[in-house]
């Protein structure tokens, strides 16, 4: 059986080795799909998980969010961090904790998660400058855009090492090497996982097309472009590591997104200055 067929069987078969998400995460995904959900309703769901509640309270009081007064309720934390951001962080923590066996992987999960936090941070900054309304929605898909790499690294360890070797030897991006050897890349795998877990299209589509934004449905093209550029700028800034041997972005991505090169350089400098805050973000959200 080809690798692609094995991957599709793992993701699409109802009874497979793929773990089910915790109940609280399942409920949060439902919340993310309903625009009528209130802050109180989200707070009530999160409060059922004491570990998650403690981490989110600690995060809302961290230097990343720079609050002058102490945040001591989850409802206040949602206001400080932002409704969509807290949904994204909760999903990220839940998904990472679900895949507990992280020994001997072909990717550094710490570096990959720090990279995801960096991309989410940069995406939000780009969206503020190009589409302020989108800045509230972009954090979740930007944070989770490389979820497929986690699956490749856990379930196809040896094969994924060969993919990384292929990419380094030929100086090609990972998604190119994945398609060459697996006939399937991490962006497609992310979308398949999100479909299995009933993620809303607003999260699934930008992840699916973050390497091929020109192929995205029009409604999500700008989302995908922003994540593509943010991915590139975060790699240029040296925040975390995506597993790619070198940074890559679609042609004319800066112009397509709607910023000028000087703004892009400024964003790289900004995210470098936030490296300590991003690492603290990582430490809080992954602390067991």
Same structural domain for residues 56 and 80? Answer: yes
pLDDT at 106: 64
Q: What's the whole-number mean pLDDT along residues 3-13? A: 85
pLDDT at 1: 66
What is the DSSP secondary-structure string of 223-281?
Answer: HHHHHHHHHHHHHHHT-S--S-SS----TTHHHHHT--HHHHHHHHHHHHHTHHHHHHH
Same structural domain for residues 232 and 256? Answer: yes
Same structural domain for residues 159 and 76? Answer: no
Same structural domain for residues 11 and 94? Answer: no
Same structural domain for residues 173 and 70? Answer: no
Domain endpoint, select from 76, 98, 120: 98
pLDDT by residue (tens digit) across 70-122? Answer: 999 999 999 989 888 899 898 888 887 776 555 556 677 888 999 999 999 99
pLDDT by residue (tens digit) across 213-249? Answer: 999 999 999 999 999 999 999 999 999 998 888 888 8
Question: Rounded CA gap, 46 and 59, in Å?
Answer: 14
- Class of residue 287 by CB neighbours under 10 A (exposed 0-12, middle 13-18, buried 19+): exposed
Same structural domain for residues 175 and 234? Answer: yes
Same structural domain for residues 124 and 248? Answer: yes
Same structural domain for residues 79 and 145? Answer: no
Same structural domain for residues 162 and 228? Answer: yes
Question: Rounded CA gap, 141 and 2, in Å?
Answer: 29
Question: Rounded CA gap, 40 and 88, in Å?
Answer: 17
pLDDT at 222: 95
DSSP 145: T
The answer to whether the CB of 146 falls within 8 A of the CB of 94 is: no
Q: What's the whole-number mean pLDDT along residues 157-165? A: 92
pLDDT by residue (tens digit) across 173-227? Answer: 999 999 999 999 999 999 999 998 889 999 999 999 999 999 999 999 999 999 9
pLDDT at 263: 94
pLDDT at 246: 81
Of 39-48, 125-134, 239-248, 254-263, the one with minimum mean pLDDT is 239-248
pLDDT at 248: 85
- Report the CATH number that the domain containing residue 155 is assigned in CATH: 1.10.3210.10
DSSP 79: H
What is the DSSP secondary-structure string of 171-210?
Answer: T--HHHHHHHHHSS-HHHHHHHHHHHTT--HHHHHHHHTS
pLDDT at 99: 67
Same structural domain for residues 86 and 137? Answer: no
pLDDT at 47: 92
Same structural domain for residues 122 and 140? Answer: yes
Same structural domain for residues 215 and 83? Answer: no
- Domains of the chain: total: 2
Query: What is the domain extent for residue 29?
Result: 22-98
Domain endpoint, select from 83, 98, 113: 98
Please check the confidence at residue 266 and state whether its pLDDT lies above 90.
yes
Mean pLDDT score across all residues of the chain: 89
Domain endpoint, select from 54, 75, 98: 98
DSSP 14: S
pTM value is 0.92
Which of 227, 203, 231, 90 is closest to 137 using CA atoms? 203
């Amino acid at each position: 059986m080809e690798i692609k067929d094995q991957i599709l069987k793992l993701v699409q078969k109802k009874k497979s080795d793929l773990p089910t998400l915790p109940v609280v995460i399942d409920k949060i995904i439902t919340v993310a799909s309903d625009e009528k959900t209130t802050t109180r309703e989200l707070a009530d769901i999160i409060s059922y998980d004491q570990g998650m509640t403690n981490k989110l309270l600690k995060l809302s009081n961290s230097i990343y969010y720079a609050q002058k007064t102490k945040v001591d309720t989850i409802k206040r934390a949602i206001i400080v961090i932002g409704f969509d951001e807290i949904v994204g962080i909760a999903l990220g923590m839940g998904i990472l904790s679900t895949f507990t066996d992280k020994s001997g992987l072909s990717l550094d999960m710490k570096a990959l998660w720090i990279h995801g936090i960096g991309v989410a941070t940069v995406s939000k900054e780009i969206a503020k400058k190009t589409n302020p309304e989108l800045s509230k929605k972009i954090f979740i898909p930007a944070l989770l855009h490389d979820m497929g790499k986690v699956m490749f690294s856990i379930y196809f360890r040896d094969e994924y090492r060969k993919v990384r070797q292929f990419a380094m030897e030929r100086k090609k991006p990972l998604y190119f090497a994945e398609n060459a050897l697996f006939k399937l890349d991490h962006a497609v795998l992310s979308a398949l996982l999100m479909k299995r877990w009933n993620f809303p299209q607003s999260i699934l589509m930008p992840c699916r097309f973050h390497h091929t934004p020109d192929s995205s449905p029009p409604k999500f093209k700008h989302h995908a472009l922003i994540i593509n550029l943010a991915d590139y700028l975060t790699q240029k800034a040296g925040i975390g590591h995506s597993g790619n041997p070198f940074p890559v972005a679609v042609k004319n991505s800066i112009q397509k997104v709607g910023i000028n090169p000087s703004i892009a350089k400024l964003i790289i400098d900004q995210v470098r200055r936030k490296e300590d805050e991003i690492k603290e973000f990582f430490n809080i959200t992954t602390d067991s």
